A and B are shown apart, each in its own frame.
Chain A
Amino acid sequence: MKKLHYIYLASAWVLSGCEGFLDAKPEQSLVVPHTLDDVQALLDNTVVFNVQPSIPYLAADEFEISDAGFTALATPQERGVYLWEDDPYQGQPVADWTRLYQQVFYANVALQTLEGSPDKGSDQYNHLKGSALFYRAYAYHQLLQVFAMPYLQSGDNSKTLGIVLRDRADINAQPKRASLEDSYRQLVSDLEMALALLPDSSVPKTRPSRAAALGLMSRVLMDTFQFRQAAESAEKALGIYVERVDFNTLNLSLPRPFTAFNGEMVFYSSLLTNGFMRSAEASVDSALIASYGPADLRKQAYFIARAGGKFTFSKFLTGTNQFFGGISVGELYLTAAEGFFRSGDEEKARDFLNRLLALRYKTGFFEPVVSTGQVLLDRIVMERRKELVGRGLRWADIRRLNQWEGSKTTLQRSVLGQEYQLLPGSAKYAFPIPDEELARSGILQNPR
């Protein structure tokens, strides 16, 4: 029996002796994120980040689809969103919601990992923290465009439902929807922190930079009717990001005139895609197509002509087959132009507009805009539509423009012999929260 004890002792010693034996990774590709490089790898996940909703693309007035094309749409969501139905997803999962909150979760994991970092204050630490804050703000902003009502220029935004704000990667926390006012406040505070931490520029353009953060800030400020600050923010971004692309230098006959990460792009983000967006039966709104003048290079740079005078949107700024939705130089120019105009600086507004258009019209055929007042504003708004087509930005613009008497738009559809319309101020400007979210977290649904 004594021997037995000895052997037990010996084996216990052997087992405790190989302490490191059980520390081997079960799977070599796994990591518990703790270093700055680990955080960078998380933030480099472009499958999660750098993606944004396609609902604005389908819901706005830029594209239409034939009856045959409509019937062939595979998912109820495409049809339901296109027709602004009360129940557009028919109970199916909605990536537009899920993916954005995945971004929030990843950003929070990154921020929490950084909290424990011994390298606080290093450049890399600052850039990473700024990036995570930027990504969270970008996600919040996208969510607000789709799942909350427009921010009112005149009215109380503290009673309107905003979005669910999550500042920790705690999957068991279950916050309710914040108010619209608080949602925007949180987003602005994230962005301001990010601005102080981010580098001026980043490579590749999927990574946030200060120019990108200023661009996002200008979007937020436009949403909240702070035009002067929006314009200044865009102007500042254009000061940091100095690359410009003259469309005259592009070979517009190519199926892909833009190269990946080209100079026009400040920050890369692509839209989720669906069958509607790729359908050969979908075409650009005919009125919009008609508004491109003969010298306007954008018509050829963005679209291909189809039989029957239709145009298909198929040349994207991404340079790939992904739909661009990120921040571009063109957007910054037009935000600056509109912002300066609305805050009373017509001259600066006209100057920004002309500087952009010079890059978009055939050399020698461009006549600088000289108009003033409403005519100038209308031109700025029109150029914004033409420049930023198919990026999901039009939806936010309609929500904003609907708040001035003169620029209200009623959206119309005619499908299978039936007419549909979306009136300005309709509750349908906020899309419903998906069923699975309501069932599991019990947050409030948008009124229909």
Chain B
Amino acid sequence: MKKFLILFTVVLYCAAHEICGQALSALSGVVTDSRTGAVLEGAFVTAEPGRASAVADAEGRFVLSLPVGGYELTVQSLGYATLKSRVDLPTDREVKLSLEPLEMGLEEVQVLATGYQEIPKNRASGSFVQLDQELVTRRVSTGFVDRLEDVTSGLIINRTGDTGRDPITIRGRSTLGRYSQPLVVIDNFPFDGSLDDINPNDIASVTVLRDAAAASIWGARAGNGVIVVTTKSGRREQPLQASLSANANWIQHPDPFLAPNLSVSDFINVERQLFSSGFYNTAESSLSNPVLSPVVETLILARDGVISQSEADSQIARLGGYDLRDYLDRDLYQTQLNQQYSLGLAGGGKHHAYRIGLGLDENRESRVGDRARRVSVMVKNDLNLLKDRLQLQTAIFGVKTTGTAGGLGPEDLMVNSMAELYPYSRLSDENGNPLAVSKDYRESFKRQAEENGLLDWAYVPLGEIGLSPEESQRDDWRLNLGGNYRLAKGLKAAILYQYWQNQGRTETVYSSASYFARNLVNSYTQSDASGRLSYPIPKGGIYDWMDHRAYSHTARAQLDYEKSWKEDWTLNLLGGAEVKSHQATGLSGRYYGFNPELYSSQAVDYTGLFSQYYAPQSSARIPNRDGQTRSTDRFTSLFANGALVYQNRYLLTLSARKDASNLFGVEANQKAVPLWSAGLGWTLSGEDFYRWKAMPFVKLRLSYGYNGNVDRSLSAFTTARTVTFNPVTQIPYSQIVNPPNENLRWERIRIFNAGLDFETRSGRLAGTFEAFRKQGVDLIGTTPYAPSTGISTFTGNNAAMLTTGYDLSLESQNLGGQLSWSTVFLLSGVREEVTAYENEVAVQNLLLNGTSGSGGTYFPVVGKPLFAVYSLPWEGLNPDTGAPVGLLDGEPSEDYRAIINSATLEEIIYHGPARPTVFGSLRNTLAYRGFSLSANISYRFGYYFRRSSVQYETILQGLGGHSDYALRWQNPGDEMSTQVPSQPAARDAFRDQFYRSSSVLVEKGDHIRLQDIRLGYRLPLAATWTKSFRNAELFLYANNLAMLWKSTETDWDPDFGASRPLKSIAVGINLDF
């Protein structure tokens, strides 16, 4: 990784030069130590352009075969400063390269950013993972988070277990609360905005802080790990350099046929069955005219003798020939196309450096009518004054994001608020003309209403595209100011300040032609005795809006002190204080009778009750979307950090931080929490007795300490929230959100980390192995309470968790020379276990919730991981009835309710964790001349998932269901070939629940994927048209390529269920002038 960074630097520094022709010429050389003149075996030589490389042999010699031209050679060897040298080929002399030994120690200084300081890697005792720019730009994606996946050791993008709240996990989860996400720090300050607003092309490096020694400087917010992002800067005394990159990424369109839906013919058969049992009578005679499907309407006509039975059958047969998914596939989805452009300008003079970055992302989303765009700009300026004693930094980052969501997806195609559109809905005719489909109310009622003068009540899905687009825009600005002043030798004072603001608006103008607007107007239309109509909701469009405004001020004062004694001792101290205030305000509202021509709207009566046209006996108030929210977060912190190094071999680090915040209703002394860490490092290879030549660098690290986490939604006192809209009295009221909890404390994560870093001679194999133990104490968990207490759940410090694991990362340089081959192997293991939990979880909750919780409510079991898969034993199907059979008191039983309710933790099956416990990736990179080929294989092992199957509860209400219905037991003997239960005579929620919770649906999740391939080609800079470039690269990138192996024999993808990750292919170009 280090080499890439250096290479990149070389590229930036060197001037463009010519390489002519194709003729190859041999370049031979010898590498020596500049002081002793000793040859350096294993030194690594790279020639640019072309990236040909070679390793020096036992005599320090190397040979490269290169096309004739000018080259920049880079020579690296462990413990020596990297040397750059120019050669012109052909040449007949041997190149002599002598390297300066490094004073500092074995390793060249590589810095790790924590957001408070940049630590040279040799002074780090904690657990850091660094991604350089090359890795950050390897993937093609709009967002930055995607680029961390499969290249960051210990970090996983979750695909199971409450992924909405918990998308990223670093080294396992160590909280039960809702605040489970790592802290993201950009340019020294915690980032308050959306991660989507970060232009990945502006990122210089990413450092992930995984243990207490690395992260405790972030105190109460570091419990879930910290991701530190550093943006690119200019360099002093560097002429203007420009980099341009552009790419286009095609993402395949979603396949609606993958959804495991009841087939059209099964759906119709069920409707026929239900019709003959009188199921639809309630709806048919209902006063509120609920919609009936075309099949049911046809059956009604046949029953009433309006049409003949054979006519009905042929109409239904015709309906059976349509499939909604055809229309989704053809008319509503499209291939997604993401285009990304970025331009960077950087340079600097004697006293200053600057960088300007511009970015444009233009995405055509997968739904016809959906678009998104992001424009970003950054300007950074560094100024050195007073003979470099004073440094001033200013930076401005601006991002404007706009999006249009005007398309329709399956979740928009609803027949009413509960059910999806009938699978045989026909959205267009043979000629592609959009057609109306049944929605909300019966067709006969709608026709009558239109005759009575109401607005057209028809719903034409394809006609709706673009009629009510949701337009969103967001502006995000960050202003960073910083100054540091060298007070004395070794002593620096710094003041940093950041102002951040984010302003956004989401609005939807439902045109007067949209179904949404027409339906609302019609529903509230009042008809008096003479049939005269009045309109409490005025005719016209409806304009919904939501404004969001947030800002924060963060200021930090910091002192840095460094002193060395007698070359043996080095002391680094850092201390300071930080204060932060963040406020977010949200407003929303709606305008009725909106006229886009005049930009006007009309007032409505929100307090009156209006009878509903479709159900005159029921009445409702006009929906009021007025809303206001404001939240304020405040933090004050004191922090200190110190490192003591002896002879570059022994290292001691200490770090402490005390945070206080405006936690609601907590006594002042409980608002603050002190957190600390200590670390030790020992460079074993620096000892005199160390003699292992093949492994010239070995370092051991140990760290211990605490990180914190806080659930800011809790309070020690009874808290109530004011609700402004009361449907009964119109008087605002309050709602208790938090019962009193005097014992509320902050969560603490105690982390022990042991690490081993090593590098073989010439850097052929380098790696890090770390083992860790994270103990979450005072964790905040939610437990169900007896309803007679007046609350259903209680949230408090009632749990503890233990996470142990390891992370291994290995980098090897397998081949040098013309054809180079390198491998990066990442392996992480993590074992989570709840070690204490004050309450006992009802077994039913474990069974009902496939992965023991979602939406922030979890069901921890002591001795098991937080997210786990449990099931009820499955005894097959009853050969006579096809009913599922379970176990009750050890005997086969079909008393599903008793099976479920009497199940105990000992009786149910614990399969294992629901999240991968072993994961990582294997990335191979081959380079030959200008070509480079890199492929990443990712793997996830050691977990289970539950697949879905048929649930008769919905099917027997005519709401559709799972395609496994077709595989159900139908006749005796079927139990030999299927495990899908038969259709019960009547709905039985417990039978469904038993099947859903049974072991027959649990599968092992282990799998290996070919994640992505990147093929790059660096243009030879000899061609005349490329003369002005320092670097030009073309690349192809393909993502989500294939499942190489999976444990389950079903069609299911362990991480994506019935669907599949969308394949994509991108082409791009990177140019440096």
Given A3-B487, A29-B629, A91-B844, decide whether A102 and B790 contact each other with a Cβ distance below 8 A.
Answer: yes
**Contact bitstring A19-53, B, C-beta under 8 A = 1, else 0:** 00111111111111100001001101111101000
Given A314-B287, A440-B786, decide whether A26 and B663 contact each other with a Cβ distance below 8 A.
Answer: yes
Report the minimal beta-carbon distance from B681 to chain A, rounded to whole angstroms. Answer: 24
Given A38-B720, A256-B611, decide whether A45 and B735 contact each other with a Cβ distance below 8 A.
Answer: yes
Interface residues of B in 615-652 (CB under 8 A from A): 616-620, 628-634, 636, 638
By the criterion CB–CB under 8 Å, are B557 and A38 in contact?
A: no
**Contact bitstring B724-751, A, C-beta under 8 A = 1, else 0:** 0011110111111101100000000000
Residue A88 is within 8 A (CB to CB) of chain B in the complex: no
Chain A residues with Cβ under 8 A from B718's Cβ?
A: 32-33, 109, 113, 169
**Contact bitstring A262-278, B, C-beta under 8 A = 1, else 0:** 00000010100000000
Question: Size band of the B side of the interface?
Answer: 35 or more
By the criterion CB–CB under 8 Å, are B726 and A42 in contact?
A: no
By the criterion CB–CB under 8 Å, are A101 and B788 in contact?
A: yes
Given A12-B638, A97-B787, A280-B286, decide whether A29 and B722 contact each other with a Cβ distance below 8 A.
Answer: yes
Q: Which of A62-70, A193-201, A373-381 contacts its partner?
A: A62-70
- State the CA gap A320–B663 with chains docked (Å): 41
Residue A372 is within 8 A (CB to CB) of chain B in the complex: no
Q: Which of A239-247, A304-312, A342-350, A390-398 contacts its partner?
A: A304-312
Chain B residues with Cβ under 8 A from A18's Cβ?
A: 579, 636
Report the minimal beta-carbon distance from A121 to chain B, rounded to whole angstroms. Answer: 24
By the criterion CB–CB under 8 Å, are A319 and B609 in contact?
A: yes
Of the residues B616, B788, B842, contact of A443 by C-beta under 8 Å: B788
**Contact bitstring B871-905, A, C-beta under 8 A = 1, else 0:** 00000000000000000000000000100110000
- State the CA gap A294–B83 with chains docked (Å): 109
Residue B976 is within 8 A (CB to CB) of chain A in the complex: no
Residue of A nearest to B986 (CB): A71
Report the minimal beta-carbon distance from A337 to chain B, rounded to whole angstroms. Answer: 31
Chain A residues with Cβ under 8 A from B579's Cβ?
A: 14-15, 18, 21
By the criterion CB–CB under 8 Å, are A105 and B720 in contact?
A: no
By the criterion CB–CB under 8 Å, are B734 and A41 in contact?
A: yes
By the criterion CB–CB under 8 Å, are B734 and A25 in contact?
A: no
Given A23-B662, A24-B632, decide whether A436 and B787 contact each other with a Cβ distance below 8 A.
Answer: yes
Residue B1050 is within 8 A (CB to CB) of chain A in the complex: no
Chain A residues with Cβ under 8 A from B740's Cβ?
A: 169
By the criterion CB–CB under 8 Å, are B728 and A50 in contact?
A: yes
Report the minimal beta-carbon distance from B278 to chain A, rounded to whole angstroms. Answer: 4
Interface residues of A in 382-439 (CB under 8 A from B): 434-437, 439
By the criterion CB–CB under 8 Å, are B731 and A204 in contact?
A: yes
By the criterion CB–CB under 8 Å, are A22 and B720 in contact?
A: no
What total of A-B pairs shows CB separation below 8 Å? 258
Chain B residues with Cβ under 8 A from A164's Cβ?
A: 788
**Contact bitstring B277-291, A, C-beta under 8 A = 1, else 0:** 111011101111000
Residue A4 is within 8 A (CB to CB) of chain B in the complex: yes
Chain B residues with Cβ under 8 A from A48's Cβ?
A: 735
By the criterion CB–CB under 8 Å, are B630 and A28 in contact?
A: yes
Residue B12 is within 8 A (CB to CB) of chain A in the complex: no
Question: Size band of the A side of the interface?
Answer: 35 or more
Residue A291 is within 8 A (CB to CB) of chain B in the complex: no
Of the residues A27, A50, A439, contact of B721 by C-beta under 8 Å: A27
Interface residues of B in 657-684 (CB under 8 A from A): 660-665, 668, 671
Report the minimal beta-carbon distance from A375 to chain B, rounded to whole angstroms. Answer: 37
Chain B residues with Cβ under 8 A from A320's Cβ?
A: 609, 619, 728
Given A31-B722, A33-B720, decide whether A11 and B638 contact each other with a Cβ distance below 8 A.
Answer: yes
- State the CA gap A204–B668 with chains docked (Å): 40
Residue B189 is within 8 A (CB to CB) of chain A in the complex: no
- State the CA gap A444–B630 with chains docked (Å): 46
Interface hub of B559, B727, B787 (most chain A Cβ within 10 A): B787
- State the CA gap A113–B662 with chains docked (Å): 23
- State the CA gap A4–B640 with chains docked (Å): 11
Given A3-B491, A206-B728, decide whether A90 and B787 contact each other with a Cβ distance below 8 A.
Answer: no
Residue of A nearest to B573 (CB): A4
Residue B504 is within 8 A (CB to CB) of chain A in the complex: no
Residue of B nearest to A442 (CB): B786
Interface hub of A18, A68, A206 (most chain B Cβ within 10 A): A68
Given A24-B632, A29-B629, A206-B729, decide whether A169 and B721 contact each other with a Cβ distance below 8 A.
Answer: no
Chain A residues with Cβ under 8 A from B431's Cβ?
A: none
Residue A446 is within 8 A (CB to CB) of chain B in the complex: no
- State the CA gap A21–B582 with chains docked (Å): 12
Residue of A nearest to B727 (CB): A46
The 19 listed contacts between A and B (C-beta, < 8 Å) are A7-B493, A7-B557, A12-B577, A21-B581, A26-B664, A27-B631, A30-B720, A38-B720, A50-B728, A71-B278, A72-B279, A74-B957, A90-B897, A105-B789, A105-B790, A113-B718, A255-B611, A255-B617, A304-B287
Binding site for A on B (CB under 8 A): 277-279, 281-283, 285-288, 487, 491, 493, 557, 559, 561, 573, 575-577, 579, 581, 609, 611, 616-620, 628-634, 636, 638, 660-665, 668, 671, 712, 715, 717-723, 726-729, 731-737, 739-740, 784-792, 794, 842, 844, 897, 900-901, 957, 986, 989-990
Top 4 closest pairs, chain A to chain B, by CB = A105-B790, A11-B577, A441-B786, A68-B278
